[in-house]
Amino acid sequence: MRVFTFIGGKLLNVAQGLGEMLALLCETVYYFKDAPRNLTSIFRQMSIIGIGTLPIAMLVALFVGMVLSVQTGSELALYGTQEAIGAIVGMSMVKELGPVMTSLLVAGRIGSAMAAEVGAMQVYEEIDALKTLEISPVRYLAMPRLIACLLVVPALVVFSIIIGVIGGGVVADVNPRIDVPFTVYYDNMIRALNYKEIFKGLLKAMVFGGIIAHVGCYVGFKTSGGARGIGESTTRSVVLCFLLIMVANYLLTRFML
Amino acid sequence: MKPRGNFWSKLAHGFAPSIMDGDSCQIGYTESRGVSIQIENLNKSFGDNHVLRDVNLNIEPGETFSIIGPSGTGKSVLLKHIVKLEKADSGRILINGQDINDEQPDVPQDFRYSMVFQSSALFNSLTVGENVGLWLREKRICGEIRIRRIIREKLRLVGLESKEDMRTSELSGGMKKRVAIARSLAMNPDLILYDEPTAELDPVTSDELARVIMELKREVNLTTIIVSHDLNFALYLSDRVAMMHDGQVVAIGTPEEIKKSQNPLVRKFIYTTTKGIQGERD
């Protein structure tokens, strides 16, 4: 009987959490109407997310593109089909690796920071202060972050894809086991890619960006218990972001096939 | 300083006209007017913990009223009910005769309240001036020129002239409290609430803060509620004092009446906060 009570309690907690997340999302989207008068906050968040993450995202994308090229190219070379490497690297970066890898990076770097910042504001009564000043914390804190993430994560993904593809091309050209000239690599990739695929990749990135901001703010708003609570929120936001990004990635891939 | 009115400033504010130019304020931005407060049979529990038990209080317009008592007796929770950060299980709070939790009042609520938090709750990402002007800017209450004037005026009231460009991280504990008070005053509140204003402050800074609140009492017509376990601070500033114990109001009166009270709980509190620990008496 105790087991059922325990499981029931956990399920109720999950249902309550999902309900709260949905309610927060609806409220945040409702405040999109106030975006024009909060452009300063939105630009500030875009700068924090974009400029801070861009160098590391590009570096990671470069090496991912290079590894993808050297691994796949070597195998293809065994069957003499290494010229297809451009299409494989391009499609992988556009459809999966670019959006997912960049989003995970942003989740680790920005999602956790958002949860910590909003969580600290919650713990140190700043959220309560906003409420007594009749300023909606959702409008003031969550809405600019959500809009910034929706815009910046796809932009970061574009840079990641470009750098990843270049890295793969360079490896394919200079690695003697693959030995595919960059022009061949490029032509092959362009033939394989189309606007629809690029759009799907960017749509994924946008959804993942939304998940990161929403989870960061939700976990932040739910923070309690001082410095320890802030630390726990940081960890929780990263884990939840990773989980939701993976689930959303499967669902989006499944429905956009 | 020249008011911001160029293209980029306008873009950053979404081309909302009221924030860029003009010296006027909304009609509703009136001077502070003290309000009356009635608290009737207020009860609140957190799980099994009954924090407020049938609390009844009457506070007159313009009065400075302190709620004292040991930690954990429900003082701050009571304060949070007045500013609607908590909702009571039963009972009600009336400000100027209007139930503050009435969703559809017959007459629109015509009062403003503000709270100075124990931790000051200043926004670290903003400067002192931006903190003070936050409500005015976010609610589009006045034009930018007027907002800057109000910020200077409110900072002068708390003795922090020309500090508006400082970061909050550069301020001492006492200065943070004063900025928090200035931020509250920017609303021209009819009711201001202080939650443990002297917590974490040394005696000299507490004394400075007491003088600031005393000065405000003279210059601004507002109702003030102070929650504190600093007995001297409360007795010095207040017109009346209530003592809470175990979620209930156990004594209420003027500072003189409280000092002379024969209620054992009040006597014990006065003794321990002015003489030393309880064990020393035995």
Question: CB distance A125–B118 less than 8 Å?
Answer: yes
* Residue A34: closest C-alpha in chain B: B14
ipTM summary value: 0.83
| Cβ B68 vs Cβ B243: under 8 Å | yes
Residue A218 confidence (pLDDT): 96
Residue B5 confidence (pLDDT): 54
| Cβ B281 vs Cβ B271: under 8 Å | yes
Looking at chain A, the whole-number percentage of residues with pLDDT higher than 90 is 83
**Cα B277 to Cα B282: distance, rounded to the nearest angstrom:** 10
In a domain, A17, yes or no: no
Looking at chain B, the whole-number percentage of residues with pLDDT higher than 70 is 88
Q: Any bridge partners for residue B65, and if so which?
A: B225, B240
In a domain, A11, yes or no: no
Question: CB distance A125–B138 less than 8 Å?
Answer: no
* Residue B119: closest C-alpha in chain A: A124
**SS3 call for A145:** helix
Residue from B18, B115, B176 to probe the interface with A (highest A Cβ count within 10 Å): B115
Question: CB distance B14–A131 less than 8 Å?
Answer: no
What tens digit of pLDDT does each residue of B208-247 get?
888 888 888 888 888 999 998 888 889 988 999 999 999 9
In a domain, A174, yes or no: yes
The answer, yes or no, to whether residue A109 has pLDDT greater than 60, is yes
A226-248 per-residue burial string, b: 16 or more CB within 10 A, e: under 16: eeebbebbbebbbebbbebbeeb
Residue from B116, B138, B225 to probe the interface with A (highest A Cβ count within 10 Å): B138
Closest CA to A130 of A18, A23, A41, A9: A41
Closest CA to B171 of B148, B213, B201, B144: B201
Residue B2 confidence (pLDDT): 45
DSSP structure string for B220-263? S--EEEEEES-HHHHHHH-SEEEEEETTEEEEEE-HHHHHH---
| Cβ B182 vs Cβ B155: under 8 Å | yes
Closest CA to A72 of A175, A190, A192, A160: A175
Those of residues 3-62 in A touching chain B at CB distance below 8 A are 35-40, 43
Strands B248-253 and B240-245, by their bridges, are: antiparallel
Non-local (6+) Cβ contacts of B115 within 8 A are: A128, A129, A132, B79, B83, B184, B192, B193, B194, B195
**SS3 call for B280:** helix
Closest CA to B130 of A44, A123, A138, A148: A44
Which two tokens mark B55? Answer: 């609390």
Q: pTM above the 0.95 mark?
A: no
* B6: confidence class by pLDDT, cuts 50, 70, 90: low
DSSP structure string for A79-125? TT-GGGHHHHHHHHIIIIIHHHHHHHHHIIIIIHHHHHHHHHHHHTT
The arithmetic mean of pLDDT across residues B49-60, rounded, is 93
From the list B85, B139, B140, which residue is nearest A134 (CB)? B139
In a domain, A176, yes or no: yes
From the list B12, B117, B138, which residue is nearest A128 (CB)? B117
**Cα B182 to Cα B150: distance, rounded to the nearest angstrom:** 10
Mean pLDDT of chain B: 85
Which range of residues forms the domain containing residue A120?
39-256
Nearest 10 degrees: Cα torsion B31, B119, B126, B16: -40
Which two tokens mark A86? Answer: 């451009």
The answer, yes or no, to whether residue A248 has pLDDT greater than 60, is yes
Which two tokens mark B176? Answer: 């943070």
In a domain, A244, yes or no: yes
Residue with tokens 């020129």: B145
Contacts of A131 in chain B (CB under 8 A): 83-85
User: Domain count of chain A?
Assistant: 1
**SS3 call for B68:** strand
* A180: confidence class by pLDDT, cuts 50, 70, 90: very high
**SS3 call for B14:** coil
Distance of CA A85 to the CA centre of its chain: 26
In a domain, A3, yes or no: no
**Amino acid making up residue A1:** M
**Cα A207 to Cα A149: distance, rounded to the nearest angstrom:** 9
The answer, yes or no, to whether residue B10 has pLDDT greater than 70, is no
Question: CB distance A39–B11 less than 8 Å?
Answer: yes
| Cβ B114 vs Cβ B187: under 8 Å | yes
Return phi, psi of residue A78, to 5°: -60, -30
* B195: confidence class by pLDDT, cuts 50, 70, 90: very high
**Cα B250 to Cα B230: distance, rounded to the nearest angstrom:** 17
Q: A159: part of which helix (H) or strand (E)?
A: helix A143-174
**SS3 call for B151:** helix
The answer, yes or no, to whether residue B279 has pLDDT greater than 60, is no
A74 in the Ramachandran plot: left (φ > 0), alpha (ψ -120 to 50) or beta? alpha
Contacts of B83 in chain A (CB under 8 A): 131-132
Question: CB distance B121–A43 less than 8 Å?
Answer: no
The arithmetic mean of pLDDT across residues A109-138, rounded, is 94
**Contacts by residues B147-154 (CB-CB < 8 Å, ≥ 24 positions apart):** B148/B1, B148/B3, B150/B186, B151/B182, B151/B186, B154/B182, B154/B183, B154/B185, B154/B186
Question: CB distance A132–B115 less than 8 Å?
Answer: yes
**Cα B130 to Cα B149: distance, rounded to the nearest angstrom:** 12
Question: CB distance B117–A38 less than 8 Å?
Answer: no
Residue B20 confidence (pLDDT): 52
Chain A: give the shortest CA distance to residue B103, in Å: 16
